[in-house]
Amino acid sequence: MINLLNIFKKEYRTLNLIEVYKDKLIHNYKYLSSFKIEIAPVIKSNGYGHGIVSVAKILQDFNPPFFCVDSLFEAYELQKGGIKTPILITGYTNPQNLKVKKLPFSFAVYTLDVLEAINKYQPQSGIHIFIDTGMHREGVAIEDLPEFLGAIKQLSNIKVEGVMSHLASYGGRNDKLFLSQIKQFKKALQIVKKYEIKPKWIHIAATGSVVNPQTRSIILKISNMVRAGLSLYGISSSTKDQNLKPTMKLVTYLSQIKQIKKGDLIGYDGTYKAKKDTIIGVLPIGYYDGVDRGLSNIGVVRIDNIDCPIIGRVSMNLTTIDLSKVKDPKIGQTILVYSDNPEDKNSIEQVAKACKKIPYEILVNLSNSTKRVVI
C-alpha cells in the first residue's frame, strides 16, 4: 500500500530557505582561533539568524570553552538540542527563575540579588563577574566592585569562573573610549586580585577587536578568551578581513510573473510607477521573513547572476521585482535574496549599508519560521 504521507513529504518544498555553510563556519572558527586565544562562539538571537542549535552542533566538536547565549530560554534550547558544550548566559537572569531547578549553566553576574540566588539555589554553577568598564550599560561599576567582591567572599557556594566586560568600540590605538575601557579593565583585574579571587577565564572582547590588527595585541595581553559573534559568521563590520567567509544565504522562488503597463503603480501607496511596459515578478517573502522594508525601491535580488531591482514597497510576506533583464523567467525559478558573496549588492553587508543599519539587524530579523539547512 502506498504511504501518501511519505509521498507528500518528498514533494514538499518550502517557500523560503536559509542555507548555512558548515565548511565556512568551521573555517571562520579556525581562523579566529589562530590568534592563539580561546574562542567562545556567541550564538544568541538564534545564532545571529543562522539557527542556534545548528550552529552549536557544527562547532561543539571543536571543544570551545563556552557557547555564549543571552538568556535562560536560549540555554534551554541548546540543552534540548543535546548540546554538551558548557553554556554561559551573558544576559540578565531573573533570580526567581534560579529557584526552579538545578541548572548546568554558567552565569554573568553583576547584581547582588542574582549573586545570592545562585549561592542558594545553584551552588554548582560558575559565575562570571561582569564589570562596567565604561560602556555604562550592564555591569558592576568599578567603584562598587570592592563591595561586590566582599559579598562574594561571604557566600560559601559562589564559584568565580571568570571576569568579563564588554567593549563599546575598538577603532584602534587612537580610540580613546577603547583605551579607557582597557585601562579600567586592568584596574578591575587588580582589585579582583587583591581579593584573592583567581578566575580561569578573563574576557572583554568580541572578535572585532581581535580581527583588527591595531587592537589585537592589546586584547591578547589582558585576556585569554574572546566572545566571537559577527566575525564568526563571516562579517567584519569594522575591519575588512578577507579571511572571513559569510556563512549563509537566503533564497526564495518566483511565485508569479505578470506584465504591467507604463504608468502602473506597484505596491502599497503606489511608491513605484512603471516608466515603461515591464515584466515583474512576485516573491513569497517580505519583511516578516527578513527582507528589510528599507530595501523598498532601492534593493536588489539576484536571478542567474543578474541583479533584479526590488520595486514598490516590501510587504509583510510579499516582494515585487523587475524581471526586465531576465531572459525567459519561469515560475518556481530560484531567487537569491541575500547573497553569501560580500561583493554582491544583496550581501548582508551591502544590504545593511543600503538600509542604513548594521549587519546584526539584518541577520537577527530573519524569521525563525524560515527553514534552515546546513550544507
Domain ranges of the chain: 22-233, 248-374
Please state the rounded mean pLDDT for residues 73-80. Answer: 97
**Rounded to two decimals, what is the model's pTM?**
0.93
Fold of the 22-233 domain: TIM Barrel (3.20.20)
User: Which one, of 103, 101, 102, 99, lies nearest residue 87 by Cα?
Assistant: 103
CA distance to 5, 334, 370, per residue, from 9 (Å)? 6, 20, 17
Whether the per-residue pLDDT at 112 is higher than 60: the answer is yes
Computed on alpha carbons and rounded to an integer, the radius of gyration of the chain in Å comes to 24
Q: How confident is the model at residue 9 (pLDDT cuts 50, 70, 90)?
A: low
Please state the rounded mean pLDDT for residues 121-126. Answer: 97
Q: Which one has a higher pLDDT value, 2 or 306?
A: 306
Q: How confident is the model at residue 1 (pLDDT cuts 50, 70, 90)?
A: very low
Write out pLDDT tens, residues 164-221: 999 998 877 789 999 999 999 999 999 999 999 999 999 999 988 899 888 999 999 9
Whether the per-residue pLDDT at 11 is higher than 80: the answer is no
Please state the rounded mean pLDDT for residues 114-143. Answer: 97
Cβ pair 305, 344 in contact under 8 A = no
Spatial distance between the Cα atoms of 46 and 40, rounded to a whole number of angstroms: 16
> What are φ and ψ of residue 121, in 5° steps?
-110, -20
Q: Which of 179-188, 203-212, 274-283, 354-363 has the lowest mean pLDDT?
A: 203-212
Say how many C-beta atoms besides its own lie within 10 A of residue 207's C-beta: 28
Q: How many CA atoms lie within 13 A of 148 on its CB side?
A: 25
Return the CATH architecture of domain 248-374.
Answer: Beta Barrel (2.40)
Spatial distance between the Cα atoms of 175 and 215, rounded to a whole number of angstroms: 10
Judge if 22-233 and 248-374 fold alike in CATH terms.
no
What residue type is 284 in one-letter code? Answer: P
256-260 and 278-283 beta bridge pairing? antiparallel
